[in-house]
Chains A and B, each alone.
Chain A
Amino acid sequence: MNPTTRRHLEWKFSQVFGERSPDDEILDADRISTVEFDKSGDYVAVGDRGGRIVIFETKDGKNTADQHYSRNQLEQLDYVSLNHPEYRYKTEFQSHEPEFDYLKSLEIEEKINKLKWCTSLSGSLFILSTNDKTIKLWKVKDRKVKKAREIDSPHQLLSSENTLLSEKSFMNEQGIPSFANGNHVESGVNSIFPSQELRSKIANYEDTAYARCRRVYAHAHDFNINSISNNSDGETFISADDLRINLWNLEVSNQSFNIIDMKPSNMEELTEVITSAEFHPIHCNLLAYSSSRGFIRLVDMRQSALCDYSARIFQDEECHGSRSFLTEIVASITDIKFPVDGRHILSRDYMNLKLWDMHMDSSPVATFKIHEHLRPKLCDLYNNDSIFDKFECCLSGDGLHFATGSYSNLLRIFFHGGGSDEGATIEASKDPNSIKNRKPLPRARRSSLSNLTRGFYKQGHESTSVVDEYSLNSSSKLQHLAWHPCTYLIACASGNSLFFYHA
């Protein structure tokens, strides 16, 4: 692909899971709270407010190792697969249950705040998931379930080995005249441990994925966990809550190290909280975290055991030109992401999507305005708390395209070098015509530069009660999304539906 085609990606609808009609009430528990692709893109996992994790896998060809490696190579060749992957339901399991902390009289919801894929080993899938307080490591494995076709006489099955053992091996040996000779028994009953082929006669195999909780990393967070992130060393991960970041070893669940502590000794002096934290994808010692004051801090863990002094602070000085109560709120960064090469940082705040160069901390290299049309309405948005909505962001595997969500189920996609209004806008649709159709008609449309966005703005301006439109009706917020690691494919969640778009 040459750069020009990269700019103008044709975004098309690919798939949807959990499609619903507009009248359907969504159960709160069914709302998707996080979406994540695994490293190869063969799997995508979704966590919801009900504490469940649903895993989808690609339809064509599972991830054999060969394919895995070839994918890596393809990536290096800068090749983007023309056939975009399609997904099918694989399995689902209950990761967290609602709990009650009796010491603090605090209800702990089961909502999955974040989930991350771990390096897969020996063919099983590993997922870290977290709610507000507890992180869990899940292993999802395809198990071949043996199903006995029929059991003629369960008693015989149970006891055959015993008779065998007693008759053949021992009674003979011990000189008791046996009523059946050993050879006969051997041919008749079969051996104690049935061989593979023999077992396949009485049993057939069935693939079922099952999930098992391998480790629980608990009791390390006083505040609510907002992010978890795996280190490139494959051994450790961090978990961040509002004021602290802890470092864990994946294999040690009873010990963690506090590496960042922003808690002031007097809570009244609290000025900022951690909103998101992520490890650098390549350098195991670097970690970035964002704050509610609009800072992104980059920390070098090599310097000190306690990383309170950041190596770099990324701060958009323009943003802090005209300060007011509301501009300080909207400056809060809701999500940060590293691209695969780790050269940039993508950040999302309430108003903008910003791309930072790791070598330039004074201002972002690109700013994409998402919610500029809401600026006059900030006061209303504050009154109904919408101003605190947290939108995520994501990047394509090549690091050239960025996506984030907005109200009205809008998905905004931008590219490196393009301006704010050159991006694509897609409505994650709920097509009323498709109530009966399982597959809705593709509704994805690429904005031809201005028409759609203008229409979008117009809609915003004309609306008599904009606040209603962007109100607490969270079913129309597109907050959670993820980009396929190798191809132009975005998974985004709206309410309980998961939409896939590809280019």
Chain B
Amino acid sequence: MSTVEAPLYPIAVLIDELKNDDIQLRLNSIRRLSTIARALGEDRTRSELIPFLSENNDDDDEVLLAMAEELGVFVPYVGGVEHAHVLLTPLETLCTVEETCVRDKAVESLCKIGSQMRENDLIERFTPLVKRLAAGEWFTARVSACGLFHIAYPSAPETLKTELRSIYGQLCQDDMPMVRRSAASNLWKFAGTVESAHLKADIMQMFEDLTQDDQDTVRLLAVEGCAALGKLLEPQDCAARILPVIVNFSQDKSWRVRYMVANQLYELCEALGPEPIRTDLLPAYVRLLRDNEAEVRIAAAGKVTKFCQILSPELAIQHILPCVKELSLDSSQHVRAALASVVMGMAPVLGKDATIEQLLPIFLSLLKDEFPDVRLNIISKLDQVNQVIGIDLLSQSLLPAIVELAEDRHWRVRLAIIEYIPLLANQLGVGFFDDKLGGLCMQWLQDKVYSIRDAAAKNLKHLAEEFGPDWAMQHIIPQVLEIANDSHYLHRMTLLRAISLLGPVMGSEITCSKLLPVVVNASKDRVPNIKFNVAKVLQSLISVVDQSVVEKTIRPCLVELSEDPDVDVRYFAVQGLQSIDQVTMSS
């Protein structure tokens, strides 16, 4: 208590506010529970604060959630590990409330506390709590109980362990599907603490029960745990006990279960040796790639590359590649998009020959896909292909697709392609870029959509960074400056935006000689929007150019603008002048 530095009054207010009618104040207080506890001291925290919190289970979910979270780190405030058990009472009540996220947080906090508790306390306090929850009248308690077994189990004596296993077995067969779901999703955690003899007998029995559950949602979660459970078992046991289940699931009636298998299959492969992968999992995976349900194919297609990585190239070419070809022509655009986002990764796995021979046609057909997401997904992974097939082939086949996308009528597609331009420039090099893409970059500056024009300006900046000021001086600046004579004021605004971005990259000299005159000229524009943007740009250029240039060119221009009839122009001009003064003063 002597360590308390905080002033007393705020603490008293916090305590008062724990009971306030305003939820925001209660929430605020709960969030600072540790401060209150420190002020009260360990003894009174144990004897007064914690009992008070234990009764306070009727509050808003938000408050309860905050409380559940705070209590998880409360061990130091109640007097350390030997008193940690007093925290179990309030958390136990929180484990039974109806809001899922509160219960989850309470379970998480209980696990945190339980993992610090002394063995004796675990047996005498924690395990009874788990048993109470598991026998709870409402299913919420039983749901929470499932997540605590892995903490209670390791330190329990033999008889208690047997009991805990049998209780968990009962939870796996609970009447309420919610409890069975929780049991299924926590099974692997519990399994990790169980001795291997019991693992093979009891836990696997539970697992098998869950995999035969009537409720799709329970089976789903059983699948999720498969991989984790498989890793706990010896490879041969895994092959004998888990593999058949998975193979079975991959042909489950419910597409949701198959979807889950498609997502998990790769994980499971890590637990199994190469032989069962070849004989069992590969055929299962191929089936999933050809599933009737598009959702399943999407999930399976998304794992194509990862799966190929654990196979030998021959197997991949022989079994997976034909499926990939089919998927690239799939009727669902989402399947094709999922494939497009990973298929590039197959190139390094298959090697150059197979890539050029087999994969390239697939890339090309995906690049010509009518659905823009598919094309974009391919382009976003260009660097991977480049490494394998080389720039010549790439640019030859890619450029038409890129040009087409650059002129797509959906502006979001154009935006996406602009964002990839720096990557492309990097991959293609200066030569190719000038020929094919330079024009496009300028064209975007005059797009009808603001976001595109803005992105185009940013893109110029990235290009200037990529290829250097000299190149920019030659290929960007002249074209950009021409826009100053454009009749459309929005285009002239884009020019200003581009200048403010390019200035810092180009350096002081070019800015003074080329860019600044254009800006000053624009200050005489007849459109006020242009004029106050001039003021903004000038302000941003202050730090780029020399002090003398500021005084000689920028200041007079701003002074002139500060007498403009338009209020906005005056406002930004004055701001610009102020920042000049600041810079001058600081230097």
B51 touching A233, Cβ below 8 Å: no
Given contacts A143-B58, A251-B100, contact A234 B51 (CB under 8 A): no
| A161 touches which of B9, B16, B39, B140 (Cβ 8 Å) | B16
| With contact pairs A193-B49, A233-B215, A284-B217 given, residues A121 and B293 touching in the complex (Cβ less than 8 Å) | no
Q: Is the CB of A161 within 8 A of B215?
A: no
In the bound complex, how far is the Cα of B50 from the Cα of A191, in angstroms?
A: 13
Q: Which residues of B contact A193 (CB under 8 A)?
A: 48-49, 51-52
If A123-B138, A302-B254, A305-B293 touch, whether A192 touches B15 (CB-CB below 8 Å) is yes
One digit per residue, 1 when the CB lies within 8 angstroms of any chain A CB and 0 when it does not, for chain B 247-262 equals 0000011111100000
Q: Which residues of B contact A119 (CB under 8 A)?
A: 139, 176, 178
The reply to whether the CB of B11 lies closer than 8 angstroms to some CB of chain A is yes
Chain B contact residues, majority secondary structure: helix
> Which one of A40-48, A90-98, A163-171, A481-489 contacts B?
A163-171
- The answer to whether B216 and A285 have CB atoms under 8 Å apart is yes
* Interchain CA distance A193-B48 in the complex, whole Å: 6
Can you name the residue of chain B whose Cβ is closest to the Cβ of A251?
B100
Question: Assuming A195-B51, A302-B216, is B178 touching A234 (CB within 8 A)?
Answer: yes
Our pick among A122, A169, A196 for the contact of B96 (Cβ within 8 Å) is: A122
The reply to whether A169 and B40 contact each other, CB–CB distance below 8 Å, is: yes
B184 vs chain A, min Cβ distance (A): 12
Q: How large is the interface on B (under 10, 10 to 19, 20 to 34, 35 or more residues)?
A: 35 or more
Can you list, as one digit per residue, whether each of B236-253 has a CB less than 8 Å from chain A (1) or not (0)?
000000000000000011
Chain B nearest Cβ from A396, distance in angstroms: 23
> Is A312 an interface residue, CB under 8 A from the partner?
no
Closest to B176 in A: A234
Query: Is B8 part of the binding interface, using a Cβ–Cβ cutoff of 8 Å?
Result: yes
Interface flag for A468 (CB, 8 Å): no
What CA separation (Å) do A158 and B12 show in the bound complex? 11
- Interface pair A166/B8, CB less than 8 Å apart: yes
Q: Give bound CA distance, A304 to B256, whole Å.
A: 9
Q: Does B326 have its Cβ within 8 Å of any Cβ on chain A?
A: no
A residues near B293, Cβ cutoff 8 Å: 303-305
B residues in contact with A171, CB < 8 Å: 8
Return chain A residues, CB-CB under 8 Å to B23.
none
Query: Taking the complex as formed, is B469 at the interface, i.e. its CB lies under 8 A from any CB of chain A?
Result: no
Check if A170 sits within 8 Å of B4, measured CB to CB: yes
Cα distance, A122 to B138, chains bound together (Å): 5
Given contacts A285-B216, A305-B294, whether A235 and B178 have CB atoms under 8 Å apart is yes
Flag if A173 contacts B1 (CB, 8 Å).
Answer: yes
A267 adjacent to chain B (CB < 8 Å): no
Question: Does B436 have its Cβ within 8 Å of any Cβ on chain A?
Answer: no
List B contacts of A232 (CB < 8 A).
177, 215
B residues near A122, Cβ cutoff 8 Å: 96-98, 138, 140
**8 Å CB interface, A38-74 against B:** 65
Annotate A233-275 by CB proximity to B: 1 below 8 A, 0 otherwise. 1110000000000000001000000000000000000000000
Q: Which of B2, B15, B48, B137 contacts A65 (CB 8 A)?
A: B137
The complex places the Cα of A483 from the Cα of B4 at a distance, in Å, of 64
Q: Please give the distance in Å from A356's CB to the nearest CB on chain B.
A: 23
Total count of chain A residues near the partner, CB < 8 A: 39
Q: How far is the CA of A139 from the CA of B99 in the complex (A)?
A: 11
Q: Which residues of B contact A285 (CB under 8 A)?
A: 216, 253-254
Query: For residues 14 through 73 of chain B, which have their beta carbon under 8 Å from a beta carbon of chain A?
Result: 15-16, 39-41, 44, 47-49, 51-52, 55, 58
- If the complex has contacts A122-B140, A124-B98, are A170 and B8 also in contact, measured as CB distance less than 8 A? yes
A139 neighbours in B (Cβ, 8 Å): 98
CA distance A350 to B97 in the complex (A): 45
B295 within 8 A of A: yes
- Report A153 CB to chain B, min CB distance, Å: 16
Could you say which of B8, B41, B49, B255 contacts A302, with CB atoms under 8 Å apart? B255
Distance A20 CA – B256 CA, assembled complex (angstroms): 53
Q: Would B48 and A304 count as touching, CB distance under 8 A?
A: no
With A192-B15, A234-B177, A284-B217 as given contacts, are A121 and B255 in contact (CB-CB < 8 Å)?
Answer: no
Q: How far is the CA of A235 from the CA of B220 in the complex (A)?
A: 13
User: Which residue of chain B has its CB nearest to the CB of A191?
Assistant: B48
Is B292 positioned at the interface, with any CB of A under 8 Å from its CB?
yes
Which residues on B sit within 8 Å (CB–CB) of A305? 255, 293-295
Contact assessment for A233 and B44 in the assembled complex, using a CB-CB cutoff below 8 Å? no
Determine the chain B residues whose CB is within 8 A of the CB of A300 once the complex forms. 253
Q: Cα distance A458–B516 when bound, in Å?
A: 100
Interface residue B314 (Cβ < 8 Å from any Cβ of A)? no
A223 vs B110: C-alpha distance when bound (angstroms)? 46
Known: A123-B138, A191-B48. A283 touches B214 (CB 8 A): yes
The residue that A165 contacts in the complex, of B8, B58, B96, with Cβ under 8 A, is B8
Q: Which of B16, B51, B177, B216 contacts A162 (CB 8 A)?
A: B16
Contact A284/B100 with A121-B138, A193-B51 known, Cβ cut-off 8 Å: no
Report Cα–Cα, A283/B177, bound state, in Å. 12
- Sorted from nearest, which 7 A-B pairs have the closest CB atoms? A193-B52, A302-B254, A162-B12, A65-B137, A121-B98, A122-B138, A302-B253
In the assembled complex, 24 residue pairs joining A and B whose CB atoms fall closer than 8 Å, in A order, are A121-B98, A122-B96, A122-B138, A123-B138, A161-B12, A161-B16, A162-B12, A165-B8, A169-B39, A169-B40, A170-B39, A173-B1, A191-B48, A192-B52, A193-B52, A235-B178, A283-B214, A284-B214, A284-B216, A302-B216, A302-B253, A302-B255, A303-B253, A305-B294
